[in-house]
Amino acid sequence: MNLLIIDNGTVRIQELQKLLSSHTYEIVKLGSIDLSVIDRFDVIILSGSSKFPIFGNEDLYKNEIDLIKNSMKSIIGICLGFELIAHVFGAELKKVDRKIRGIIDISVVRPSELFLQLPNFSVFESHRWVIKKSPEDFVTLAVSKDGIEAFRHKNRKLYGFQFHPSVFTDKTCGDEIFNNLLSALEKSF
């Protein structure tokens, strides 16, 4: 499986690379995305970012927005990538008063093979925006006290995780959940 990581300026790129070490992947930086090469990849991963929020920076994310709207490729959004997918499909993003950061508990609201048959589990988060309601045509998979933590599109292979699956893998199961998703996507090709 050939993966494309669009690095939106995450400080977590090394952890993400470690998580994907058994896969073939390429990384492109935000602003360097050549949409004409997308067909070479099976899955596109939209990273998080601590640099540029979506609002006020829509031009910066123009190619990713086009990709989310128009590509039939499998796309996984992490943190800001999750927020981009939600934003493109009309979900309301709400800025919180303080940054949500640390290991938190989330609850599965729709059973999925992604979640290892667990009703709840812990993941690492670091973000300032929350989504309380999934966009139309999306299914909420997991939530925390702060909002939606995982969703998927009903008809397309679009997935989003508000949390960072590659961080604190010794204390959370985010890596296992992410790898379960990659395995499920690989079986669908």
Is residue 76 scored above 90 in pLDDT? yes
Query: Strand order in 74-78's β-sheet?
Result: 24-29, 2-7, 43-46, 74-78, 158-161, 148-153, 138-143, 93-108, 120-131
What pLDDT does 117 receive? 79
Q: What's the mean per-residue pLDDT of the chain?
A: 92
pLDDT reported for residue 111: 84
Q: What is the pLDDT of residue 30?
A: 87
pLDDT of residue 157: 96
Helices (H), the chain: 13-19, 62-70, 80-88, 174-187
pLDDT at 189 over 80: no
Which residue ranges form the domains of the chain, and what is each CATH number?
2-187 (3.40.50.880)
**What per-residue confidence (pLDDT) applies to 26?**
94
* pLDDT above 80 for 28: yes
How confident is residue 50, by pLDDT bands cut at 50, 70 and 90?
Answer: confident
Overall pTM > 0.85: yes
Per residue in 100-138, pLDDT (tens digit) is 889 999 999 998 888 877 778 899 998 999 999 999 999
Residues 6+ positions from 54 with CB-CB distance below 8 Å: 61, 80, 83, 84, 87, 93, 129
Is pLDDT of 160 > 80?
yes
